[in-house]
Structure 1
Amino acid sequence: MTRPRILPHLAVLASLVTAILPLTTLLDSGWFGASVSLVAVIVAVGYAGRWVRPGVGFGLQLVALLIGVWWAYPGRLGDLVGLGGWGVPRVLEGAAAQIMTSVAPVDAGAPLRFALVTAIGILAILIDAIANSWRLPLVAALPLAAVFIGPQLAVPQGDHLVYAVAFAIALLLLIAARGSREPRRRSSLAAVAIVIVAAFAAVLAVPAIPFAPTSGVALYARPTSVNVSIDLGDDLRNRSNVEVLRVRTNLAAAPYLRLATHTMFDDDGWHVDTGASAPLVDGFDAVDIDDGIETSARTTWVDRVRLDTQYLPLPENAVSVDGVGREWQVMAENRTARTSTDSTQGLEYSVRSVEVVPTRAQFENLRTGDAPDFAFDVTPEVADGPIGQAARSVTAEARTPYDRAVALQSWLRSTEFEYSLDTPVTDGFDGSDAEAIEAFLQVREGYCVHFASAFTLMARTVGLPTRIAIGYLPGTSTGERVEGRAAYSVTADRLHAWPEVYFSDIGWTQFDPTPSVAQAQNVTSADAEDQPEPVETTAPEPEEARPSVSPSATASATPTPSETAAPAARPSHLDADPWWIALLAAGVLVLAAAPWGMRRAIRARRMAAAARGDALAAWREVVAMVDDARIPRGRALSERALARAILEDPRLGGPAASRVDAAALGALVDAVELARYSGSAPGHEDLAPHLRALSRGIRPAWWGLVPRSLWTR
């Protein structure tokens, strides 16, 4: 056996790494190191395997790929192998959605990193096979060139030219390193294998092809991924009922889950809140509520998280979170948490928070004087235009800040307005800036972002400090109970926007002016007669008299929850169920046995042909048996010369004590020579018994698990 040379393998490694370099200009780090490591391992084990036996390297590469895919997968092993439902399609859908709805450079989330690592690993096996097993380096250059050119077509950048120099050198090395020292070995089976592997790689690689949308409209909405920008119409209009997480709580009802807030507003619209951050493991600042206001300790458990975002879904007034890593950061001013290096995908965590329940009388006495100044900001065009005029009309009879907020909510929830996902798009005001809200107040049809933006801007024009929150509505009951608590399912179409008003002594308080999809939350502890009456304005009587209020604070006094959440550790690949490991091992065994099964099928076909007297098919089986036994044979040997080499081979016992049935071999030689050289019609003698007799002496190496005849001729 010819020793494998290391230079062609190093050339494959260099060409693969330089081919994917341009992707770094479109996709932030996190995937590149993992991909290069997997490529290096695949090339290395391929080279090492070829020192043992041809074909062993390919098997080792498949094992390396499976391990790499396992560790890159952002979820449980059961989802990867299909127990409890296949998770791979969902993860790839999330990866494709992130690419399709993002603008370069894209911060690659966990699903996108998985798709990239998997696709690049498959590409590495394909290129190594074409260049080193089938000795077709020019063919190997074609998919590499496609990978290299793709990012440049998506977003033309001058620095790709620098990468082009390194890539060209690597390709020249790939072609030159293979050289012409060894003859090329081709077969129809190799060609079919190339097509199959290429098609499989293409299916997995398509979600990882980077695109850079030139417009603000996404190509399609992501069911398990969300952009927290207020201009997220495609996400908020998502009709998908795919479950994104499960919720349990120790209180009677599931909470709203906030992802991010928007307080800054200018001519460009709303902006996601940013600010100082601290490690989430250190907890939030304590909650400071006035002594006379009732509070309840809430514990919320969140699991089965399929959502792919860098913002952590949290209930209002979060105090501490258990079950997430140190990569998560707290933004203290708005009690949200985010990360720049991870994703919510696959998390299981618990949150302690404080539920604030003022009475109606307490609400009436609350003021807004100590609110952040920027929570009052509004442009003169908004204050003096149709938005401000409508707000002053609706709140003309309101006596207190709370009354003004309730009046605005009741008006927007009245029959004057309708909930519609389509009208803002067809009428051209699908946005949240001042012009879009003015159009919404004219048409009076829209969805949550329009209702929340209208409330927030109108409230600011009458002196109320406000902001917009993005998150998820309370989930719907699944009918299941886990550890005695009801489980709620939160689906993608529960993504929602709602306004919050700041009141002294309790902080940010949630309102919900969106009709139909959101029922106004009702947590005030007043009696029925204590509830606010709708304010009489020029608008029709409100549809709901009772306000949506769920107070939220941002200050300090640590609550003492009645129930402490047990830390929910993030699932690890090492805690896999033994059945999953057994199934994965079985899959590896089936994959490893595939060459043996293919060889048996080919042998059966040839034996059937030999039984009909096909001498050429019978002789092809003789040659295959010789190759499988690792018996050296010259490429130009005649049938009779090859038969003599078989009988004299020392590994088969030599001429004195041969294990080979010489009579059977001689009969096959006579038959094939007659068929090949006599020019007469093929005979009808049954040659299968001769093949069976011969096979008893010529045993395949490695028990036939790695049949060499599949890739030699």
Structure 2
Amino acid sequence: MTATHPAPYRSEESLVPAQPGHAAHEQRHLVLSLVSMTAVILASLSLNGVIEGWLWLPPVILTVGSVSTAMAVIRSLGFPGPLIFVAGLLALVGVLNWQYFPDQSILGVIPGPDTPERVTLLLNNAEDTVVSQLAPVLPDVGILLVVSATTGLIAVLVDTSAITLRMPAASGIILLMVLFPAAIIKTDSIGIPAFVAAVTGYLLLLAVAQWRERPRRTAGTGRSSEGHLTWAVSIGATALTITIMLPLVTPGFDSGLFPQGSRLNPWGAATGLNPSVTLGNDLRNPAGFGRITYATNAMEPLYLRSSTLEDFSGQRWEPDQRLDSRRAGIEEIRAGEPISDGSPILTTITTQSFTSPWLLAPYAPISVTNLEGRWTWDPQNLTILAADGGSTAQQSYQVRSSIPTLTRELLAGIGPVPDGEVPQAFIALPDDIPAPIETTARELTAETANPYDKAMAIQNYLRSEEFTYSLEAPVDGGYDGNSMGVIERFLEVKAGYCVHFAGTMAVMARLLGIPSRVAVGYAPGTPTGNTVEGPRGEELTEFAVDSRDAHAWPELYFRNVGWVKFEPTPGRSAVPDYAQAQPLPPEAVADDSLTPRDSPLDAAGSPPSTPATSPDQSDAPEGRDGSGRSWAVTTGMLLALICVTPFLRRRTRSAHRRRLLTSGTTIHNPARIAWAETTEIAADYGYRRMSSDTPRSFAERLKLEAALDGQAAVSLSKLQYAYEIEEYAPTTGFTRQAAGTLPNWEDVQTVIKALRRSTKLSSRFRAQLLPHSLRNPFQPKRKTWL
């Protein structure tokens, strides 16, 4: 009798000799997806310094992690490359909607009909932030949206290049896009730490992409792919070291990783203080930035004026530079407008890091000295602007100004302004003014007789208890800006900050025939406790302001007096004596002179018992709670990815076997593949083979223990018989097919479904999340059927 030696039970690698290592190769995609995500996040660290602080990082991690996870899952399920790319884009849209447009989206992730309007608003806010602030810009919602969307798209492209298209080296070009903003905007360029982080991520991506390919002998050379990996890492590390060290010994490299000099500013001249819509971003910064000090011999702290807004016809109100009518020679400024006689005031201003082409000065300046650069002034509004691309940065200069002597009685006795006395720019209004604005203005002034009484009626209305000072209400309500539509919405909600109060009073004044404009600059700030010696030895009291003191206020024109400042914003700075609603006791006047960051009054002037309307509380950044939530979600997603990894690997192996058996192509060992899938899934559900089992004895025991009958029992017998024929009596594929022993994937599925029905719910979860068949996946045990 001829003895038949049992054949070994092989893992998938040995079952498909035509495609060795394919399953392990597919499983390593998960690791490469994780590394691809890490490379994008490491490259994004260069944005620190372009954007202030680190509040932008959690949304970036959440966005990139969601995109990479979605693409990894779809890839593990065996979908083709184009669908994986589409899945990444859909995941990007979903996570952006969840983070930035939850109220406008369907189910929180699907764009809704109101999403485009919200997107437009946030993009406009981001544009205003970029063109009006120096780096680092504040991480407002619009900026976070742009950064998250950009890095998410880059994550999709890197994943597609490195994994789907198998071109990991080309993904480095895509990663350079993340470094581009820092390279052209930051003063010290990318910086060595951020550059090292980005290159480390790229080298790690190359290394894992090489590791993904199964080690194999290269024909004719005797080298394995590990040898190429060693060379790649060595070359990359050497290039990184040279890149870091070379600038240190090369003349002209002062700092950073690129030659220093004039940095490229793709957005045009920075303004330091945004003169319009994003002034609220400066106010919302809880720490303050751009500290400025000034020392003056004035009896009261001063407003520092930068520019004015006069054209109210557009969707956004911006300063008109009027370059064709500006005059040189700021050492002596002869105003083209009447200014009441007053004592000259001397103010010394030190800008430090504040950078703007608009010069800060008290109103109304009559001379500016000790200022570097070429500057011009506008006869119509007395604003001072750099003429040669210069700025206020690191300047210390003296301003002499004239403070008019104004009283309630003086202003109340002035009549309307005759036609032609002031330029048309200060009285013009668009034709499509919303009706509620005009109606409100007419109703408030129905019983007033002169311009001063009309102005006081508007100011008193805006400072009344009906209105609330709020930095967040305009953002949440979608009217954080300045235009006629914004003013209409502000009058409906009755909550906003200085831009809204000042713009509303200026527009209402023009409706009533009073020329007006909006001044932008800084409220008086707080005393430092120091004194500074003036140019002639006089003692000057020093004050400090920063972004938290950014302010806008209306200026109204009165005949033979000039432009007069009013203060309609509740809880902000001091109301001038001539604009007080009624005489106040000394203690009330003192309290009203405090700025919001140290005032005991709330936004409406009420006691602090109403914390919801406190300017201090409204200044709290929205990003803190969002940051904590984003970190929690990111951590949860990473944990979820770890938990589902066994499930995905099991599904990947099964999907690969299904493709082999259903592709229609001839393979060498279909019965072994089908039997391996059946026995492994059975083990996952708790029906494990014993060392003494033969294929037939295991099949019989499985039928008994799992109570398989009917079609499931027939399918199991077919699979077992096909395996025995292929393993012990090899024949051609044609003979097997003719004999009816060619295995069918439907038989495998029939058995698996029956096994699932026969197990408890807990066993089903364990089979999915912790499949027994994946133990030692890279070194599968060799078992023998006896």
TM-score, length of structure 1 as denominator length: 0.45
Normalising to structure 2: TM-score of the pair? 0.41
